[in-house]
Structure 1
Amino acid sequence: MGQYLRMSLRESVRRCLVSAAGGVLAVLAVVLLRGQLCAGSGCLVVPILQEPLMLGGAWVLSWVTMALGRVRPAWPVALAGPMVAAALVIRLIDVAKWPLAAILAVVAAGYALAAVMTAAGLSPAWRIALVTPMVVLFAWSVVPHLVPAP
């Protein structure tokens, strides 16, 4: 545990870059596989299971990428990365109108920010300062979809 308390700038940058690559690979996997698994009238149940399985597979892919890239520990970044990326993508850009490259850049930034937020040795004040805007953005982007329209 002690080895995680202080990270050099080089180690922090590597952690952010590997995490960003894991997020980009996860999004690319979802984009490339969407609609490819099953098509036609014989696939009535598959679409119901396809999205959760695809998103779970993307999460595992990002986690494995970060673990292979020696991001230690990788699981907090893998858990926080999709939420930070979703908060940024949903609230800050219009997904339907932006090109895939812009979405990938925002997802990479979200995973890199998650890597910073979950880094050991980060002071509690900095952690709170980084997490609070992401929680507000995530709630601001998700809650309107959960509340029925009048």
Structure 2
Amino acid sequence: MERGNSKHGPRIDDQMSQEVSGLVQGPGTGGSRVDEARVPEPAGEDQPEATTAPAGELRSGAPKGMSSQDVERRSRFGRFITMTALPGDRDTLIANARDNDAPDDIIADLQRLPDGTQYQTVSEVWAALGNKNETTRW
């Protein structure tokens, strides 16, 4: 094995020193720690954009039996029904939702509930309106 001189010359040594200065000295020196060769290029004209959920929906922790959209819709619905209205019937829930400035679509949904039925939870109200709740985990 032949060992030669490892010194490149003053100009090349200075250039190599500047290339690693961001790594050695940290980001406070104004240099970037990102190697330009490692930055991904944007998708081409006929290629899809990169996504964090290539199979469709993000794994958001939605319970079994519900999609993340179902969870978001039920959460929005539940924001306008406070615990003081439960247990309660249709009229109690509508009055409570109006007191909480519920939008018209929430009031219209509550008006579809059958009269005379007592609801213990927002999930029961949600299910009575024909929506999905999570399945029981055993």
Q: Same fold (TM over 0.5)?
A: no
Q: Which has the higher contact order (CA 8 A, sep 6+)?
A: 1
Comparing both structures, which one devotes a greater share of its residues to helix? 1
For the pair shown, the structure with the greater C-alpha radius of gyration is: 2
TM-score, normalised by the number of residues in structure 2? 0.28
